Amino acid sequence: MGDAADQFFVNLLHRAVGTLPAGLRPILSSLISVVAILSVFAFLFAVTTVLERKGLGRIQNRYGPNRVGPLGFLQPIADGIKSLTKEDIVPHSADRVVHFLAPLVLVFAAFSLYAVLPIGRNMVLADLNAGVLFFFAVSSVMELTIFMAGWSSRNKYSLLGAMRAIAQMISYEVPLILSSVTVVMAAGSLSTVDIVERQAGYTGFFPHWFVFTPWGFAGFLLFLIAATAESNRSPFDLPEGESEIVAGYYTEYSGFKFALFFLGEYLGLFAISGLGITLFLGGWAAPFSFLTWVPSYLWFFAKLILLIALFIWVRGTLPRLRMDQLMNFAWKFMLPMALLNLVTTAVWHFLAQGVVRWVVCILMIVVAYVLLGRSLMHGSRLEKRVYRFAE
Amino acid sequence: MLFSIFAILTVAGAVAAMSFRNLVHSVLALTFAFAGLAAIYLLLGAQFVGLAQILVYVGAVAILIVFAVLLTRDDGTAPRSILSSSWKESAVVVLLVFGVLAWTISRSLVFGQGGGSLPRDVSMQEIGNALMQRFALPLEIVGALLTVAMIGAVTIAVNEKEERR
């Protein structure tokens, strides 16, 4: 029963493709998988927009959207109709071709990221030998589209927002890639399928995920912070902050192109969460060995929804970082931590199994964290916070 | 046939990069040519090189060129002709280079001549092994070179800041 439910979609695909002539089978199989990925993640995007607005609303002590549909859950349909029927305004002096191409290339790159994520057992679109490298290569294309959007609007504020966004994204790409390199080192392969398989065992009923090791935990936290910065989400959303620079690099976009930018940004967020799940949280593996009867894709989506909830929670809670605070954090704290994490992974790999390597690695990471944190405080003392309220 | 499509796209991107008057348009066309090259690498089965081409060229070099163009902008709207003033000499050099390349390729494995054998599909593990064992010294030298470049860039930037005070 477990296996049939687990491989339900794979078998469905095989049966659907098997009814067709043999020559067309590979193309049609890829085509059907691509359509499935597009529809599932676009639907997830729609659900996330409404969940985010309601979640943020609740954190800010208000209801979110609650008019359209039961509890407001048909809001994405209303949003979709609105963005489709809005007038498409392009500034007179804007560069029309680049202005048109920027959201297209963004969405194209964002959708291509899902090709290497294993969504379930045997459910990866392209089992590339260098899957993780493909992911980072395509996500670096997304940075160029942000520049295209900002520059083509011929708007000083858009250009400024685009420059800031690119600076932020290339700064945070380094700790992101370094923390993924620790996983690649531990798993011995750049292929996402191999990495998931390396985390597949259980000791007792506790899983072998990389996040349950000291270097994996530190790496996962670094990865999450860098992922928040890569997706330009709060608290790193200075390039597109609504109260700072109107909408930054997509100020001059209206209607459907704006919706495409929104879509591309959220898809990038899901993809990078998916990569985090693949690298650190064991991919489609169940958390406890007595829960392996639940189908693998359900576990992947459960973890993905948990990570999305975490991102929404962080967005509603933390204030926005200033540009120099952001860059300092990336280069002075996260990069040294990521490098030390790399060394800790190597130490973990070469020490024998037992209590010693846990103690050594935890000490390495904690001491580095405390020392780096203290050095960034520039000597100001840590005191009890005093609140002054308006009377 | 796929090769012809990607080759035509790459060459079109490169020609467009030369012929656009707007500098940022040229940069974007050049980026398109880079992407076409990456596609050709991937067609040849070189996964690592193709993906590294996208990561490095499209993701880093293109952004570098863009920053350089935007930070050192001239008026930009002065009408310049596409052909530079020394186009006759450049044409001679280009034809010479093309001749040398065509002659070399015509005597290579692509046309069934020359020594050596076609490389088999190389996996990531083999590239990693080669980098760490046989080519460890070049790897270290490249690392030292990159570090020197970074330190040099920081030194220049720091000096500029101090001079302005």
Q: Does A189 touch chain B (CB under 8 A)?
A: yes
d(CA A257, CA A184): 37
Looking at residue A96, its pLDDT comes to 85
Q: What stretches of chain A show up as alpha helix (H) in DSSP?
A: 2-6, 8-18, 25-59, 75-85, 96-112, 131-152, 156-187, 192-198, 214-230, 256-279, 296-317, 323-328, 335-350, 355-376
Residue where a domain terminates, one of B46, B74, B102: B74
Q: Are residues B127 and B68 in the same domain?
A: no
Residue B34 lies in a domain: yes
Q: Is A100 exposed, middle or buried (0-12, 13-18, 19+ CB in 10 A)?
A: middle
Q: Are residues B65 and B134 in the same domain?
A: no
For residue B54, the chain A residues in CB contact (below 8 A) are 137-138, 140-141
Distance of CA A82 to the CA centre of its chain: 27
DSSP state letter for A387: -
Q: How many domains does chain A have?
A: 1
Residue B88 lies in a domain: no
**A130–B48 CB contact, under 8 Å:** yes
Both tokens of B129, joined, read 């092994």
Residue B60 lies in a domain: yes
Q: Which residue of B has its CA nearest to A142?
A: B59
**A137–B51 CB contact, under 8 Å:** yes
Looking at residue B117, its pLDDT comes to 65
Contact between A167 and A327 under an 8 Å Cβ cutoff? The reply is yes
In the three-class reduction of DSSP (H, G, I as helix; E, B as strand; rest coil), residue A342 is classed as helix
Write the DSSP string, A20-71.
Answer: S-GGGHHHHHHHHHHHHHHHHHHHHHHHHHHHHHHHHHHHTTS----SSSGG
| N-to-C CA span, chain A | 65
Output the 3-class SS for B108-157: CHHHCCCCCCCCCCCCHHHHHHHHHCCCHHHHHHHHHHHHHHHHHHHHHH
Contact between A143 and A170 under an 8 Å Cβ cutoff? The reply is yes
d(CA A217, CA A55): 26
Residue B19 lies in a domain: yes
| pLDDT tens digits for range A82-125 | 888 888 888 888 888 888 889 999 999 999 999 999 998 888 88
d(CA A250, CA B72): 24
- A-facing residues of B in 36-95 (CB < 8 A) are 47-48, 51-52, 54-55, 58-60, 62-63, 66-67, 70
Q: Which residue of A has its CA nearest to B34?
A: A141
Looking at residue A248, its pLDDT comes to 72
d(CA A104, CA A257): 8
For residue A141, the chain B residues in CB contact (below 8 A) are 54, 58-59
**A137–B59 CB contact, under 8 Å:** yes
Residue where a domain terminates, one of B53, B74, B95: B74
Looking at residue A379, its pLDDT comes to 61
User: CATH number for the domain including B48?
Assistant: 1.20.120.1200
Residue where a domain terminates, one of B17, B43, B74: B74
Which of left, alpha, beta for B146 (phi over 0: left; psi -120 to 50: alpha)? alpha
Q: Are residues B70 and B126 in the same domain?
A: no
Residue A38 lies in a domain: yes
Residue A391 lies in a domain: no
- A-facing residues of B in 15-44 (CB < 8 A) are 22, 24-25, 28, 31
Looking at residue B119, its pLDDT comes to 67
Looking at residue B113, its pLDDT comes to 65
Beta carbons within 10 angstroms of residue A71's beta carbon: 14
Looking at residue A1, its pLDDT comes to 47
The distance of A198 to chain B (nearest Cα, Å) reads: 16
Intervals of chain B under pLDDT 70:
73-82, 110, 112-120, 160-165
Residue B104 lies in a domain: no
Q: Are residues B3 and B67 in the same domain?
A: yes
Query: Which residues 6+ apart lie within 8 Å of B37 measured at CB?
Result: B10, B53, B57
H-helix or E-strand spanning residue B33: helix B23-43
Contact between B151 and B145 under an 8 Å Cβ cutoff? The reply is no
The distance of A46 to chain B (nearest Cα, Å) reads: 29
Q: How many domains does chain B have?
A: 2
| N-to-C CA span, chain B | 60
Residue A390 lies in a domain: no
Which ipTM value was assigned to this complex?
0.83
Q: Does A151 touch chain B (CB under 8 A)?
A: yes
Radius of gyration (Cα) for chain B, nearest Å?
21
Q: Out of B22, B55, B66, whose CB is closest to A140? A: B55
Q: Are residues B130 and B70 in the same domain?
A: no
Both tokens of A354, joined, read 């037992």
Residue A227 lies in a domain: yes
Beta carbons within 10 angstroms of residue A133's beta carbon: 24
Radius of gyration (Cα) for chain A, nearest Å?
22
- Could you tell me the mean pLDDT of each successive run of 10 residues in chain A, 391 residues long? 76 82 81 91 92 91 85 86 87 86 92 91 86 92 88 82 87 93 90 89 80 91 93 79 65 84 92 94 85 86 94 90 87 92 92 86 90 76 75 69
In the three-class reduction of DSSP (H, G, I as helix; E, B as strand; rest coil), residue A295 is classed as coil
Residue B165 lies in a domain: yes
Domain extent for A369: 2-376
The distance of B2 to chain A (nearest Cα, Å) reads: 15
Domain extent for B127: 122-165
Residue A139 lies in a domain: yes
Residue B26 lies in a domain: yes
Q: Please state the pTM of the whole predicted model.
A: 0.89
Q: Tokens 């034809």 map to which residue?
A: B95
Residue B66 lies in a domain: yes
Residue A350 lies in a domain: yes
Interface test with B, best of A27, A108, A151, A169 (most B CBs within 10 A): A151
